[in-house]
Amino acid sequence: MKIDILTLFPEMFTGVLGTSILKKAKEKDIVEYNIVNYREFADNKHQTVDDYPYGGGAGMVLKPQPIFDAVESLKQGESKPRIILLCPQGETFNQSKAEELSQEDHLIFICGHYEGYDERIREFAVTDEVSIGDFVLTGGELGAMVMVDSIVRLLPGVLGNEDSPVLDSFSTGLLEHPHYTRPADFNGMKVPDILLSGDHRKIEEWREKESLRRTFLRRPDLLEGYQLTEKQRKWIMEWENEK
């Protein structure tokens, strides 16, 4: 996968992309990162990328020309990259979107700044508008970092255990079950006996039940579109009766 990131602050990405899983993915040649300062595409000697909004108002607006030219320079042959605009008005990013984008060969992220984008960038330059949540950031850089991390870890060969991304919270539609490691007794706080039993069938059932319980208690909204089995319905009825 190739990932291009258009930003006015390329130095922000150095530590993130050069550390941990994202670094390993690059070293394995699974992903290629390319950070582009779109100020370099400005068609004026001062490399200005913003201007006052028509009609007046507070703040400055990103001009279309530098963004359009930067995007065009990154397109390769007949390929059609997904061009993602980081924007508080976009669809909310989630695991499903990460899985969708992880199937692409080429992603281009556009990180905004100032008051906003010229509307023609939204209408004609991008394929997706995405937000990482209902809050406002100074620019799109942090949102791009979050999305890249979430997407790259899903690529085959990136994680040591291929089951890890499949079993993560949200990937299954539920929150992940609790985890424990040694020691089995830490200051009187003990690991559940079932996990020490060696009975893998019962352990898997315990994990399934705890995953569902945690979702039921913490994120019941996730169950609205989830297809429950008969066994899972019985568990939920038990917990509702306990309430």
Binding residues for S-adenosyl-L-methionine: 112, 132-137
Residues 6+ apart with CB under 8 A from 54: none
What is the greatest pairwise CA distance in the chain?
Answer: 71
Of 10, 64, 88, 178, which residue is the catalytic one? 88
Dihedral class, residue 117 (left if φ above 0, else alpha if ψ from -120 to 50, else beta): beta
Both ends of the chain: CA-CA distance in Å? 48
Q: What does the block give as tokens for 4?
A: 């291009």
* Residue list for the binding site: 112, 132-137
Strand pairing partners for 50? 62
Catalytic residue among 99, 168, 176, 210: 168
User: Is 115 marked active-site?
Assistant: yes
The one catalytic residue among 81, 153, 165, 213: 153
- Please confirm, yes or no, whether 88 is among the known catalytic residues: yes
Backbone angles phi, psi at 118, to 5 degrees: -60, 135
Mention every residue, 6+ apart, whose C-beta is less than 8 A from residue 97.
91, 130
Q: Is 168 assigned a catalytic role? A: yes
* Catalytic residue check, 53: no
Which tokens sit at 67? 């963004």
Q: Identify the active-site residue in 99, 104, 115, 149.
A: 115
Q: Which residues are catalytic?
A: 88, 115, 153, 168
